[in-house]
Structure 1
Amino acid sequence: MKATGQLHQLGQSLWLDNITRDLLDSGTLQRYIDEFSVTGLTSNPTIFDAAIASGHAYDADIREKARAGMTGEALFMELALADLRRAADMFYPAFEASHHMDGWVSMEVSPLLAGDTQGSIHAAAEIHQKAARSNLFVKIPGTPEGMPAIEESIFAGIPINVTLLFSRDQYVAAAEAYMRGIERRLKEGLKPEVCSVASLFVSRWDVAVKDKVPEALRNTLGVAVGGTVYRAYRELLASPRWRALADAGALPQRLLWASTGTKDPHASDTLYVEALASPDTINTMPEKTLKAFAEHGTVNGVMAKDSVDAEAVLARFAKAGVDTDELAVRLQKEGAEAFVTSWKELLRRIVEKSEELRSAKAS
């Protein structure tokens, strides 16, 4: 059995951090489902920008929509949702078999709304309505301004992928926003079965400190932070507050490991996948990492439910002068800014391609 199948048997979902029209048209995504136990996927503006720029798979669709007067963000949403609907249909069997805990795809609200609570609420509702798929998450960043939007969206019955989380405190805030939304639904006599995941970004920690700490500490911070978050996740699932919600029919907000591709060329290309093996979680990984793990990865047990080792590693970083609380805030801010940059580049590319194709003769 491939290592990907072993992870699946352990109870961890493997999702692909990528979507392109070529991936769908070529049958590659179906192959990943069949051979690598992939049961979902995530997307972001950078992924779509690269997909549109790298070939001509979207040209006919862009030309048709541009000639119909569609532009910018509206045109992009149509392109992205067309792909995500197809992927959602492919994952629907996993969605049903897992009682809606797996088999999901994700679509991001505009990164320009990271600081706009009301704008995020409106955008999440619009994406949910237009997607018309029960297994599509709307991604809202877990910024301070995003937390009320997450709660309100959950209350409205919209499945949410809380993205751009970097620390235990940020994760706990996302979990509490989710629970408040469910508690409000129960109070109003609404069904509590609204799904959510909380996405912790891992490898960016190690990129941020790689030139600031001794060699022995490199590529250990992300996993250590993950250890503290995993402990908080397990503690929350055992808490009286959550047990009361579960007894009322609520579904757990699963912890999702994001940014799990190895950035250091001198480190193992399966570093984060192996270190973050844990039941009742999700690992969403780039194609390169997925294939590497399927080919030569190993499953060497699961993460500890306590965070004793993780706390020891964090203490070493503190001794080396790394303020992880401050860094978590900075990483979230920089992550939001990076998505804004990618979003603007994506829209610029769509405008340019729209103009080019609209003026060209239809082939």
Structure 2
Amino acid sequence: MKATRQLHDLGQSLWLDNITRSLLDDGTLARYIAEDSITGLTSNPSIFDAAIGGGDAYDAGIHAKTLAGLSGEALFTELALEDLRRAADLFRPVFDATGQVDGWVSMEVSPLLAADSAGSIAAARHIHHQGRRDNLFVKIPGTPEGVPAIEEAIFLGIPINVTLLFSCAQYQAVAEAYLRGIERRLAAGLDPRVGSVASLFISRWDVAANPQLPDALRNQLGIAVGQQTYRAYRELLASKRWHKLAAAGARPQRLLWASTGVKDPSAPDTLYVSALAAPDTIDTIPEKTLHAFADHGQLHGVLADDGGDADAVLAQIAAAGVDLDALALKLQRDGAAAFVKSWQQLLQRIADKASALEKESQLP
């Protein structure tokens, strides 16, 4: 049995960490669904920047939307949602068969809103309305300013993918926001079934910490943080507070592993996927890592509900001089800044393409 199918049967969802128009047009995404147990996907500004800049698949759409008077963020949003609606339709059978637990796609609010709670809420409402798909998550970063926006969006019934989480504490803050949003819905007599996932980034920990760690501790930090956070996730699902909400019909906010592509060439290319196998979770997996895991991936058991040896590993890494709390904050800030940079590059790329296509259309 293929390793990707083994993960699926274990109860972990595999989502593709990519979307391009060519993946949709040439049937590649449909093949991943059929052959590699892919049951959802995620997107972000960096992914769309690479997709739009990687060829001419979007040129006709950019030109048509420019002629229709769209530009900038509005043009990109509609361009991206065209792809995501198509992907959402491919995943709709999974969405229906799993009772809306799986089969999701995700669209990010503008990264420029990472420190703007009110702006994030307004953008989430707009994308949710414009997306026109029940299985579309709106991505809001789990920054301090994002936490109240996440709670309010959940209260409003908008499915949310919380992104840019790096630590157990950051996860717990957004899990609390989700619970509060659901509790407010119940108090208001509203349906508590609002989908959400919380995305914990893994590999960036090791990229940041490896240079100051001894060889024996390299590439262990991201997995240990994942183990620690999985323990908190399991404790939440076992709590009386959650059981009360579940009895009323609420669904868990599922824990999602993000950034699971291996950056260290000396490490196994399936390291994080193998290490983070766990039921009731999601792994968003880059295409390169998907191919590697489908080809030679192996499972070595599942994550322990109690976090396994996470506390011991984290203590050793702290003793080696890594300030874990400070690094978590830095990683979140750096991640938000990187998305802003990609967003600005993306909008400039679209503007440049629109201008070039307009000039071409005027040639005799």
Do they fold alike, i.e. is TM over 0.5?
yes
Map 1:226-265 → 2, pairs under 5 A: 226-265=226-265
In the other structure, the counterpart of 2:43 is 43
Aligned counterparts of 1:277 and 1:286: Cα–Cα separation in 2: 16
In structure 2, the partner of 1:150 is 150
CA-to-partner distance for each residue in 1:136-194, whole Å, 9 max, x for gaps?
00000000000000000000000000000000100000100000000000000000000
Q: Which runs of 4+ in 1 moved over 3 A?
A: none
CA distance in 2, matches of 1:42, 1:246: 26
Q: TM-score, normalised by structure 2?
A: 0.99
Report Cα offsets for 1:279-322 as digits up to 9, x if no partner: 00000010000010000001121011112401110010111011
1:231 counterpart letter in structure 2: R
Amino acid at match of 1:319: A
Residue type at the aligned position of 2:175: A
Give the 5 Å matches for 1:155-170: 155-170=155-170
The offset of 1:352, in angstroms, is 0.4
Aligned 1:19-168 pairs, distance under 5 A: 19-168=19-168
* TM-score, normalised via structure 1 length: 0.99
Cα deviation, 1:220-247, whole Å, max 9, x if unaligned, reads: 0000000000000000000011110000
Q: Give me the whole-angstrom Cα distance separating, in 2, the residues matched to 1:68 and 1:164.
A: 34
Instruction: For residue 215 of structure 1, report the CA deviation from its aligned partner.
Output: 1.0
* Structure 1: distance between partners of 2:358 and 2:247: 56
Paired residue type of 2:339: F
Aligned to 2:307: 307
Residues in 2 aligned to 1:226 and 1:244: alpha-carbon distance in whole angstroms: 26
Measure, in 1, the Cα distance between the counterparts of 2:227 and 2:323: 17
Q: Which residue of structure 2 lines up, in the alignment, with residue 211 of structure 1?
A: 211
Counterpart-to-counterpart distance in 1, 2:49 and 2:307 = 38
Q: How does 1:338-357 map to 2 (within 5 A)?
A: 338-357=338-357
Cα distance between partner residues in 2 of 1:71 and 1:41: 26
Structure 1 position 358 matched with structure 2 position 337? no
Which residue of the partner structure matches residue 291 of structure 1? 291
Structure 1 residue 23 displacement after superposition: 0.3
Instruction: Say how many residue pairs are matched.
Output: 363
Distance in 2 between the 1:211 and 1:325 partners? 18
- 2: CA distance, partners of 1:346 / 1:80: 12
Are 2:335 and 1:335 aligned?
Answer: yes
For residues 360 and 124 of structure 2, the distance between their equivalents in structure 1, rounded to whole angstroms, comes to 35
What does residue 273 of structure 1 align with?
A: 273
1:359 CA drift (Å): 2.2
Tell me the CA shift for residue 32 of structure 1.
Answer: 0.2
Distance of 1:357 and 1:151 partners within structure 2: 42
Any unmatched runs of 5+ in structure 1? none
Deviation at 1:362, TM superposition (A): 7.7
2:314 is aligned with 1:322 = no
Give the distance between the partners of 1:25 and 1:68, measured in 2 at CA: 24
Residue 213 (structure 1) shift: 0.8
CA deviations on 1:190-222 (whole Å, 9 max, x unpaired) are 000001000000000000011111111110000
RMSD (CA atoms): 0.8
Aligned to 1:358, the other structure's residue is in SS state: helix
% identical aligned pairs: 69
* Letter in structure 1 aligned against 2:231: R
Distance (whole Å) between structure 2 residues aligned to residue 167 and residue 210 of structure 1:
17
1:245-264 CA distance string (max 9 Å, x none): 00000000000000000000
The code of the aligned residue for 2:166 comes to F
**AA matched with 1:306:** D
Cα separation, 2, equivalents of 1:17 and 1:222: 18
Rounded Cα–Cα distance in structure 2 between residues aligned with 1:255 and 1:362: 51
